[in-house]
Structure 1
């Protein structure tokens, strides 16, 4: 009992408890919130399989097509309580269709009569709330106070990026790249102030992050300008009505920022801790320690960046290969921009290491620390 009372006296524990309560309430609410939707929602009560056909295309890709009859109970709107019978076809690979199970809740499109109804997609708010809640709870439990600050910075960063996109949509004459540049500056400053607080190394981390990010983006812009963008498949940006180079550079800047910031804060924090524990260390040995830290994380951070970019295009890559496209054509059409972003981000990571070390040295020389 004493341990429970001690835990409840800590403000942070109350925050975790409050979050858990909110998360559970929201999760339960998603099962009964159909009446709050304007879109008709139905629950599948019965599935009858009417036929099964084995199919094959010209490239000998085999699949199985199922035709089903779904009995769906309407949960909201003017048809609430009634049952709709909807024909649904899907393939087992689910490449261009989706399979449903009994008790799934689905979003429907209904014109004037239930006979015209069809399914648009699954109702996934319960899954979204569950995954988001588990992620945030894990960050809070592992990161404690820093975890809470990280969640706040994540929310602020998301708002900054969305605000930049919104402003550009409202005023297309304003450069998206310029808006993202301002957003990156604000996002970097707020994130590092929230995560590390106002310390001397916070300023160094902010400067090295911004310099490393804009330097590698500037190099990318210069190379694209000199080469005319040869080799970059801008045409793979489907349905894009904006200048592709501007959008590409904005995406490079956003993607590079996270990795560069991680490298900058790791080196700055490591060097600060080394100096605190061994204040009589020489400047040369101190810089060497920072370089060793940078070398240890350089490879892993570059790999993380590469895998993050490539993973999103993996489904399309497999579809291209399944349809008898060559490996070179498949990679050029699906991974051209992703590999370019990853390489550019890798350059930013490498450049940030000496930039951070030099700024740390400069700061302490200005404070009169001996070399």
Structure 2
């Protein structure tokens, strides 16, 4: 029997915050005890802050929160204190997260979907099943910053499917180079983007705004946006870090070369990526598939509550994976791989990988990360 601990959610009224509520309200280890959001929601019950049960309701998930959660008072996130609960989950915007998460981490752990602490050299940017060997850097973060707690951010949602698919191959055969082209879901641009796209589809024929290199409401329908600000730099930087080694107190990135191009496409959920690799050692398509199918990480070994039975699923169908049919395999907590074949390059292969950007890539993935930290005693 695992003792349940109290948790707080920072940014509880937003899209990712609501998913934290959904994934934590019946969790066997964690109990929601405090909710925090912006000043305009402070002092209201969670139901009032969301307009729950009204025509203006901002609760966008199908399953309703428990009455106990709806009755909790939402408090100003800037007033959150580290002595209130045992663990915090953060769904804050990055510009807010830096100060708030750092203040709380002086006392208690924070597991975050924000990027604010992702790129410091003392940060444990954690992808469950991939880089548990980096966990000791938490001790360095605490020592340097004088914290009793810590901040553990998740990787970028586009990085997650790619890095998870590369992990078994890198471990077994090595990698010389990786090239990736992404087709990323509209939900990756946030709730406002999804709402705008839905409104546009209903409008049927309304005038589109002028094209823009960044997100502009109404540009998704029947369109591909071949630019997502900062995305390619994040993928290139994070992938080699996640697969790197922990040597003498620092993370040494993997040495293979990586190139990528990121695109936004009119799909609701699920990031699809075309991946081209060159392995260091010779192998076959069947050996690649065997490595993926047999791969099990620490979440599976430890039997964590949110862990899928296997982190990577390989399909033999020539036209899969597809977001509409495959992004919720194992509850959206796996990388689904298909279309595996050799290409013209020496030791070259290509495949498609799909991962759920708002499940594994957001709140549910962060819950799994927290389960690991709790299971090894870093969350008390």
Larger relative contact order (CA 8 Å, sep ≥ 6): 2
TM-score (norm 2): 0.26
Give 1 or 2: higher strand fraction.
Answer: 2
Instruction: Give the structure-1-normalised TM-score.
Output: 0.27
* Greater percentage in helix: 1
Say which one has the larger Rg: 1
